[in-house]
Amino acid sequence: MMIKSIHLKCTVMLLTLGLLSLCWITPSSDAATKYSNINNLTTQLEDKQSTKDKEERHSNLHKKMSKEELQAHKLKKMQKLATYFEIDTEGMSAKELRVAIEKAKNEQPEKWEMFKQQFRAKKLEEIREFAKSKGISIEGKTEQQLREELHKLKHSKTE
């Protein structure tokens, strides 16, 4: 993954340098157009790479799950959402359920925001309990701070 990322960055740099050198030869209006085109191309390539990196990072979280287990896990999460939005799931496929949930989220944005707040609060409480069990002080710390301390603790034990 890292080699692909480096390769992509090198390609973008070479493309930029090549087009910039072309800009010196061409009239100024053409140069500006070519320069804006290369900036647009560079942005598109970097966005594509960052999306790919994000997908690869996320898939690493579920390495130990088979494809079927992962689909079952996602379906279970969607069913919890459907229950929260009071959607009848009887006889629905996963795709139909996903569409129904999206529709409910769009129709009831305040309920969706409330669900997200409850979910975050539940996760924070779980992280606080876990951090406390590992001997980390939890008073006045954000979720991110607790995650960082747990990460440091994990890596200090492996070294």
Q: How far is CA 45 from the centre of its chain?
A: 18
Alpha carbon of 28 to those of 3, 13, 38, 100: distances in Å? Answer: 37, 22, 15, 54
Whole-number average pLDDT of the chain = 76
Overall pTM > 0.85: no
Tell me the Cα Rg of the chain. 24
Is the model's pLDDT at 103 over the cut of 90? yes
Q: 50 — phi, psi (to 5°)? A: -65, -35
In the chain, domain spans? 1-61
Is the model's pLDDT at 22 over the cut of 80? no
Assign 70 a pLDDT band (cuts: 50, 70, 90). Answer: confident
Distance CA 94, CA 78 (A): 8
Instruction: Give the end-to-end CA distance of the chain in Å, rounded to a whole number.
Output: 24
| Contact predicate 15/41, CB 8 Å | yes
Assign 58 a pLDDT band (cuts: 50, 70, 90). Answer: low
Q: How far is CA 143 from the centre of its chain?
A: 17
Q: Furthest-apart CA pair in the chain: how many Å?
A: 68
Assign 65 a pLDDT band (cuts: 50, 70, 90). Answer: confident
Mean pLDDT of the 46-62 span: 55
pLDDT of residue 52: 55
Mean pLDDT of the 89-107 span: 92
Assign 96 a pLDDT band (cuts: 50, 70, 90). Answer: very high
Is the model's pLDDT at 28 over the cut of 60? no
